[in-house]
Amino acid sequence: MRVVRTYGRERSETSRYTIGNHVMVRQQLFVWWWTRMIELIWEVLIPLASIALLLYGGSARAPERLTIGEVTCSWSI
Q: What are the tens digits of pLDDT across the range 2-51? A: 554 556 677 777 778 888 888 889 999 999 999 999 999 999 999 998 88
pLDDT at 58 over 50: yes
Q: Which of 10, 15, 13 is nearest to 2 (CA)?
A: 10
pLDDT given for residue 74 in this prediction: 59
pLDDT given for residue 48 in this prediction: 92
Torsion of CA 25, 29, 31, 33, to 10 degrees: 180
pLDDT at 53 over 60: yes
